[in-house]
Amino acid sequence: MSWNIKKFDELTNRELYNLLKERTLVFVVEQNCPYLEVDGKDPFSYHLFKEDDGEIIAYLRILPAGVSYQEVSIGRVFVKKEFRGQGLAEELIKKGLEFIQKELNETTVKIQAQDYLRKFYGSFGFQAISETYLEDNIPHVDMLLQK
């Protein structure tokens, strides 16, 4: 199993297909949330993922400053259901934040987190900057990390 981080144009057709398939499975099907998963931001983003035998099992995208927010952002974070509970989510976030700090030289990260993950993101230093609100009928909170 290896970690990869690629710009959109560096993704192979198979990698792109697999990451979109897995994102749709998690965010549309599993969460029963019909919305436009392919939102036009992927071509501007970095894609961090872990593969196991050609299958994407953990993923997040890093959106440079100005794509979603004034600050750099992390989104579409998931670990495939059968791989949850193994510490991959923590490893994934750590690798994403390390890339943001070392490669993009950014010190502030803004996220839109599902509210039940507030404590998880808080363990990395993110702090809530909004009240809880509904986004696609799911409670969310805006959070900010400043290093």
By CB neighbour count within 10 A (0-12 exposed, 13-18 middle, 19+ buried), where does 103 fall? Answer: exposed
Query: What average pLDDT does the segment 69-83 reach?
Result: 96
pTM value is 0.94
Apex 35 CA angle, 115 and 39, nearest 5? 95
- The helix/strand/coil state of 44 is helix
Going from the C-alpha of 69 to that of each of 58, 85, 89, 109, 146, the distances in angstroms are 24, 30, 23, 9, 15
Query: What average pLDDT does the segment 29-45 reach?
Result: 90
Apex 49 CA angle, 29 and 35, nearest 5? 25
Judge whether residue 1 has pLDDT over 80. Answer: no
**Per-residue pLDDT reduced to its tens digit, 40-61:** 999 999 999 999 988 999 999 9
Judge whether residue 72 has pLDDT over 80. Answer: yes
